[in-house]
Chains A and B, each alone.
Chain A
Amino acid sequence: SQELEQSPQSLIVQEGKNLTINCTSSKTLYGLYWYKQKYGEGLIFLMMLQKGGEEKSHEKITAKLDEKKQQSSLHITASQPSHAGIYLCGASYGNALNFGKGTSLLVTP
Chain B
Amino acid sequence: GAVVSQHPSWVICKSGTSVKIECRSLDFQATTMFWYRQFPKQSLMLMATSNEGSKATYEQGVEKDKFLINHASLTLSTLTVTSAHPEDSSFYICSARRLAGASDTQYFGPGTRLTVL
Contacts and interface: CB of A to CB of B under 8 A. Distances in A.
B49 interface: yes
Contacts of A34: none
Q: What band does the interface of chain B fall in when counting residues whose beta carbon is under 8 Å from A? A: 20 to 34
Contacts of A102: 42-43
Nearest to A89: B43
A97 B113 contact: no
Interface stretch (A11-19, A35-43, A57-65, A66-74): A35-43
A31 B91 contact: no
A40 B91 contact: yes
Contact of A42 (B40, B49, B104, B110): B110
Interface string B42-71: 111110010000000000000000000000
A41 B44 CA distance: 12
A49 interface: no
B43 A100 contact: yes
Interface in B60-113: 91, 93, 95, 104-111, 113
A21 B45 CA distance: 20
Contacts of B110: 41-42
B31 to A, nearest CB: 12
B46 A96 contact: yes
Contacts of A99: 36, 43-45
Please list the 3 inter-chain residue pairs (A to B) with the smallest Cβ-Cβ separation, ordered nearest first: A42-B110, A43-B108, A99-B44
Given A96-B46, A99-B45, 11 more contacts: A39-B40, A40-B91, A40-B113, A42-B108, A48-B105, A90-B44, A92-B104, A95-B32, A97-B34, A99-B44, A101-B42
